[in-house]
Structure 1
Amino acid sequence: MYNVREMLNSFSQGLEKLTETNKQNVAAFSRLLSSTYKPGALDTKTKELMSVAIGVYSRCEYCIVYHCYKALESGATREEILESAMVSVAFGGGPSMAYTSTLLSECLDEFEKDFK
């Protein structure tokens, strides 16, 4: 069982701490994220759903946690998030299914209540 809230906070705090010694690199990463997730031809919600799928496919636990939260924040539903994850299962097979049925499900159970 994961503590997804702790993982989300740990990631954010880790970036802050890393800024102390690598300010330019963290700032560049933050600018990249900010630019990438701005609405354009695709809205932010769609980009976050894509990010959930990519996180599940690549088995990046912190990516799954962060982008599940951001997808919910951008208005995605549980059904949309799970459906996007299932696309990654079509490419990633069993490992992607394992992360969808465990970590992603726990993220949804924990974070959904923040946006209701």
Structure 2
Amino acid sequence: MTKNPRELLNEFMGGLQEVSKTNGEQVKAFMNLLGAAYKPGAVDTKTKELMSVAIAAYNRCEYCIVFHVYKALEAGATREEIMEAAMVAVAFGGGPSMAYSVSLLKASIDEFESDFKK
């Protein structure tokens, strides 16, 4: 059964909001770290998101995959760039990374790509 990428993304974002009620300091610190890490510098945000897609696929983190595919598309990455980043993960992670790349990662692109088409 294929998991719905939008439902996973919403579950993750809703979970952050819910946990913020009791652990706001920690969630805020995490979000500040993300903000600092993804701020454009020597490497632009799109490239950082593509790196994150590869890391997510390598680690087989479902929530990370859907979140960073969404953010990569938002940052202007194409389907081809995202899949190429995923294939780098496969070079390191083998079959498990391939399984997530051809299923949930691909489904995430399919689900979110139209959100950013002009």
> Under a length normalisation based on structure 1, what TM-score does the superposition of the two structures give?
0.99
Distance 2:30 2:8 in 1: 19
Cα deviation, residue 75, structure 1 = 0.1
Q: Which residue of 2 aligns with 1:111?
A: 112
Cα deviation, residue 11, structure 1 = 0.5
After superposition, the CA RMSD in angstroms is 0.4
| Aligned pairs for 1:21-32 within 5 A | 21-32=22-33
Distance 1:27 1:91 in 2: 32
Q: Quick one: percent identity of the two aligned structures?
A: 66
Deviations 1:58-114 (A, max 9, x none): 000000000000000000000000000000000000000000000001001100000
Q: Which residue of 1 aligns with 2:66?
A: 65
Q: Which residue of 1 aligns with 2:4?
A: 3
Q: Which residue of 2 aligns with 1:77?
A: 78
Distance 1:86 1:3 in 2: 22
Q: Which residue of 2 aligns with 1:92?
A: 93
Aligned residues: 116
| Aligned pairs for 1:23-62 within 5 A | 23-62=24-63
Residues 1:19 and 2:20 are matched in the alignment: yes
Distance 2:20 2:115 in 1: 28
Q: Which amino acid aligns with 1:64?
A: I
List alignment gaps of at least 5 residues for structure 1: none
Cα deviation, residue 2, structure 1 = 1.2
Distance 1:27 1:2 in 2: 28
Distance 1:46 1:33 in 2: 14
List alignment gaps of at least 5 residues for structure 2: none
> Under a length normalisation based on structure 2, what TM-score does the superposition of the two structures give?
0.97
Q: SS of 1:6's equivalent? A: helix
